[in-house]
Structures are given as C-alpha cells and as structure tokens.
Amino acid sequence: MQLTAPAAGRSTESRPRDPDGMAVASFILGLLGLLVLNLFLGPIAIALAAVALWRGTSRRGRAWLGLTLGVADLVVLLVSMDLSHTVSWSL
C-alpha cells in the first residue's frame, strides 16, 4: 500500500469556513436584503460580517459594508413598517 502526499495547496485536515468568503457573502446578502427578505437577510449579513471580522478577513472593507448593509436592512424595514402602519412592506 502506497501513501501519497496531498495535492499542492491542499491539506488533509478540515479547514474552518473562509472568512473572506463570509465577508463577500455578508455584502451580497446585505445588498439583496435591501430589496427582499430584509427581516432574514439583514441579521444573517450582520452575523457573517461579525464572524469574518473576528476571524481576521483580508477583505475588511467588504465585511464592514456587509455589516452596514445588514443594519440598513433592519432600519429600512422599521421605517417602512412605521410609514405603512403594517407588519410588512412592499416596493
């Protein structure tokens, strides 16, 4: 039986989730949350951005934008609910 070394750039141990990917995902979800499902996408964007920043992402700007957009999602929801006097809103 012959053992082979892992391919270049790969390790045999499991890696934690990529903080750079989390930063980009938080930005995209925060941006998308301004239009649809902001009650769900806003908190997810905030959580992903916070974890990405905590894990030391190299895309700090994207993570901060994701965090800001996640908070903006919730603010837009609250303002639109207040203006329409309903629990939901639509475009």
Q: What is the 3-state secondary structure (H, E, C) of 60-91?
A: HHHHHHHHHHHHHHHHHHHHHHHHHCCCCCCC
Q: What is the pLDDT of residues 74-88, one digit of tens each?
A: 999 999 888 888 876
Query: Higher pLDDT residue, 65 or 59?
Result: 65
Candidates 78, 3, 72, 8; CA nearest to 41 is 72
Query: Higher pLDDT residue, 30 or 5?
Result: 30
Q: Domain for residue 7, yes or no?
A: no
What is residue 70's predicted lDDT score, i.e. its pLDDT?
95
Q: Domain for residue 8, yes or no?
A: no
- Domains contained in the chain, number: 1
Q: Which domain holds residue 35?
A: 19-84
Q: Domain for residue 91, yes or no?
A: no
What is the C-alpha separation between 10 and 76, in angstroms, rounded? 43
Query: Which residues have a Cβ under 8 Å from the Cβ of 55 and sit 6 or more positions away?
Result: 16, 19, 22
What single DSSP character describes residue 33? H
Q: Domain for residue 3, yes or no?
A: no
Q: 24 by DSSP, 3-state: which? A: helix
Is the per-residue pLDDT at 52 higher than 60? yes
Q: Domain for residue 4, yes or no?
A: no
Mean of the per-residue pLDDT values of the chain? 84
What is the C-alpha separation between 91 and 36, in angstroms, rounded? 9
Q: What is the pLDDT of residues 12-27, one digit of tens each?
A: 554 556 889 999 999 9
